[in-house]
Amino acid sequence: MLKFLLLFLYSSMLVWSPVPASCQTLSHKVYHVNNIDGSISILGENHGFVPMSVALIASLTHMQSSVDLPARLVLFPADEPQLLAVFTPKQPEYSFHYKCHFDLGMYTGYSPPDSSLIYPLPFKNQTDTFIPKHEPNQNVYTFSLPVTTPLVAVRDGTVAFIRDNKKNCRLRRNANLIYIYHYDGTYSCYENVAQNSAIVRLGQQVKQGEVIGSFGGNKYNSEFWFSIRYPNKTSSEAAPIVFSDGEKTIPFR
């Protein structure tokens, strides 16, 4: 009896694995539960408005996973927990440890997304000519804009993230952002948004061309930063973009 109790306590110590902080946010999280049959279920919750892609990495000793690891899994918005994986013991003395991180958007396995799409300018053009800068290694596009220039949705989508409460700071970008999720799994990023200028709300459906806020910049930088991002196998990546002003495509410098 004592031998059995010691073995039970030893196995319990091996099974215990704290959920890493990177797996926890206000709207989505990943955690595990111990099942009656001794297996471990990895569950995820997404109480937000758009899909999140989870990168799950685990180290298993004498255990088998129901999914190939490392895994890229999609956590859809839902009221109930979603099963991501099951770790099953193969021997009495087993252990596991896992970590994960989230990326906005839906991982589809396709990288990069559809390159044939032509994007309208992400703002209301107030001058005759715009020649955006392109950072090729990052696929981030910058435009020199007058402050208060209206920013518009480049595609239909869902407002996934808003932060417009930051004051000017000594940074290239002022830290105010709006993200809009698109139904192909990508999302558009609007950076250097004017403080308190967002006129959309989290979870709102927006149409292409709809005003979402205005450009703010800061006293150290007058450029609007824009990108289209998508989850790849391990992280988030920006896609190359072709812009058009409605009549012709726009070159870069």
pLDDT digits (tens, 9 = 90+) for 204-229: 999 999 999 999 876 666 788 999 99
Rg (CA), the chain: 23
How far, in Å, CA of 160 to CA of 106, rounded?
A: 12
**pLDDT over 90 at 246, yes or no:** no
- Residue 209 in any domain: the answer is yes
pTM: 0.82
How far, in Å, CA of 126 to CA of 33, rounded?
A: 56
- Residue 252 in any domain: the answer is no
Residue 112: pLDDT band (50, 70, 90) is: confident
Give the domain-ending residue among 81, 104, 127: 104
The string of pLDDT tens digits covering residues 116-126 is 888 999 998 76
- Residue 110 in any domain: the answer is no
Question: In this structure, are 17 and 79 located in the same domain?
Answer: yes
How far, in Å, CA of 237 to CA of 25, rounded?
A: 21
Residue 10: pLDDT band (50, 70, 90) is: very low
Left if phi > 0, otherwise alpha if psi is -120 to 50, otherwise beta: which for 10? alpha
Domain that holds residue 177: 118-244
CATH number of domain containing 145: 2.70.70.10
The string of pLDDT tens digits covering residues 151-204 is 999 999 999 999 988 776 555 556 789 999 999 999 999 998 988 999 999 999
Q: How many domains does the chain have?
A: 2
Are the C-beta atoms of 73 and 56 separated by less than 8 Å?
yes
